[in-house]
Amino acid sequence: MNGIRRLVLQNVRPRTLCAHYSARAAPQRPKQTRLSAQSNLGPSAMSAHQVFAPLTKGCPVFKISQPITVLREPQQFYKQLIHGIKHAQRHICLSSLYIGSEETELVAELKNALARNTKLQVRVLLDCLRGTRTDSAGMSSAALLAPLVQQFGEERVQVFMYHTPALSGLSKQAWPQRYNETFGLQHIKAYIFDDDVIISGANLSRDYFTNRQDRYMRISDPQFSDYFVRLVSTIGQFSFRVLNGDQAAGYKLEMADGVADPTRDPREFVREANELMAQFLHRAEIEHAVEAGSISEHDTLAIPTVQMRQLGITQDESHMREFFELVHAFARNYKSRSLMASAYFNFSDQYKRSVLDSASRWDLLVASPQANGFYTAQGISQYIPDMYSIIEHEFAHMARARNDISIEEYMRDGWTFHGKGVWSYLNQPLPQLTMIGSPNYGYRSIYRDLEAQVTVVPGNTQLQKDIHQEALGLLAHSKIVSQDELKQRTRGSPLWLRGLKPFVMKKM
């Protein structure tokens, strides 16, 4: 294939599209202060666009001319979804882990939009394992969407269900619903309505529209939108399609002709999926490459990256490594600070090491036990928040010599926390970079799931202020936790729970 490297399955060497630095120096130890109390961090001869210029190499880069909208609340997110469905003229493209079986209003809006506009096309990408999991009434995401395919036809409505190649054969038959999802998922969250893209970490279910805090950013640009439509369509080429069929389930699943079934021939499936994704990424990189000299500090840049390590694609992993190295190199000479958020304190070993070795200040924001989605779970799942506290305490112990690394926990009565991303403050009181998307920055985000995030380098003060206020809004419902507090919290944890830590770190 022209310019595309094929994956050798016997000795997988993941495709890398972004370069990285490797030099390190002893971290500096500036005094810790909260992000919300931050003042000017000191002068620098380099602009943020110059510092982060290496992040544009080997990745598609979009210069966004229209204002970017930073949404703050779940209700705003839902209103934007409904508005997008009602006003889309050409296409609607929804990529999520699943659609809640109770979201009949959302599906009804899709139906009405298709009925009003005969030229409208709808694509939906979900995870197959999560999207076919049934609730107590026997309903699933697939069953909810199948009537749209039946009424409007496959030419106008396509519902894709990605299935991990890591679960096949007898293993697929042995693992029950819910537990089978630990092998890998389609986790990308992007919602496209013509030229508008909402990048988020939120799924399409009721709690994400009411009291489950996440992040949401609306970017309007035809080329940027086209990138995500093509990304979804490419994944759809190696995903199951939801079709009319089984009367009991309300649908049937079929792979496209000529594409290997991941549950029967996972090795061939990985080879074919890697080839399709490599072609897509190579094309996007060429079509949307920018020369360093063509970037002005007044340009707002959006850099999308994807991670699919099970398919041999490691673009986002390389991008994150590069980011950590750039921040570290900058912080050796100037003051800097970064905030990194995740729904769970389960950061990968390499990301934890990057924080610990960094010369920069770092704040880590995660859900408190009460704001963890598993807090009210039944069975063994109810212990998952305790497990995250154990991991959190171990990290706090590792960082005990640093007074410039803080752990903050989101706690808001009646709410859960699902936010993730990065805010980077190099030498100014306003952020010069943010990352937003689906990764939780844990082991499975790197090794198991399909992920996508967007790095945004703002080109104007208003966008910087909006991104900063978003961070402050999350921190307003958070508090710093100490090593002693975490030690006290985990003191009574049963020994068997600690024994499950390797499983939780790699599966949850």
Active site residues: 187, 189, 194
d(CA 398, CA 17): 32
H-run or E-run covering 322:
helix 315-331
In the block, tokens 């982060």 appear at: 52
The CA angle 257-235-184, to the nearest 5 degrees, is 105
Cα separation, 231 vs 225, whole angstroms: 10
3-state secondary structure (DSSP) of residue 69: strand
E strands present in 237-392: 240-243, 252-255, 300-307, 337-341, 361-367
Tokens of 146: 């199948």
Quote the CA–CA distance of 400 and 404 in Å, as a whole number.
10
Residue 96 phi/psi, 5-degree rounding, is: -155, 165
- CA-atom Rg of the chain in angstroms: 22
Identify whether the C-beta of residue 294 lies closer than 8 Å to the C-beta of residue 430.
no
Closest CA to 195 of 227, 225, 217, 216: 225
Q: Is 109 left (phi over 0), alpha (psi -120 to 50) or beta?
A: alpha
Q: Go through the chain and tell me how many residues it has.
A: 508
Q: Which of 107, 69, 86, 343 is nearest to 205 (CA)?
A: 107
Work out whether strand 337-341 and strand 361-367 pair parallel, antiparallel, or are unpaired.
parallel
For residue 434, the cross-strand partners are: 423, 456
Which residues, at least 6 apart from 381, have a Cβ–Cβ distance to it below 8 Å?
A: 374
Name the strand (E) or helix (H) holding 454.
strand 451-457
Among candidate residues 393, 362, 387, the one with its CA nearest the CA of residue 483: 393
Q: Please state, in angstroms and rounded to a whole number, the distance separating the CA atoms of residues 308 and 200.
A: 18
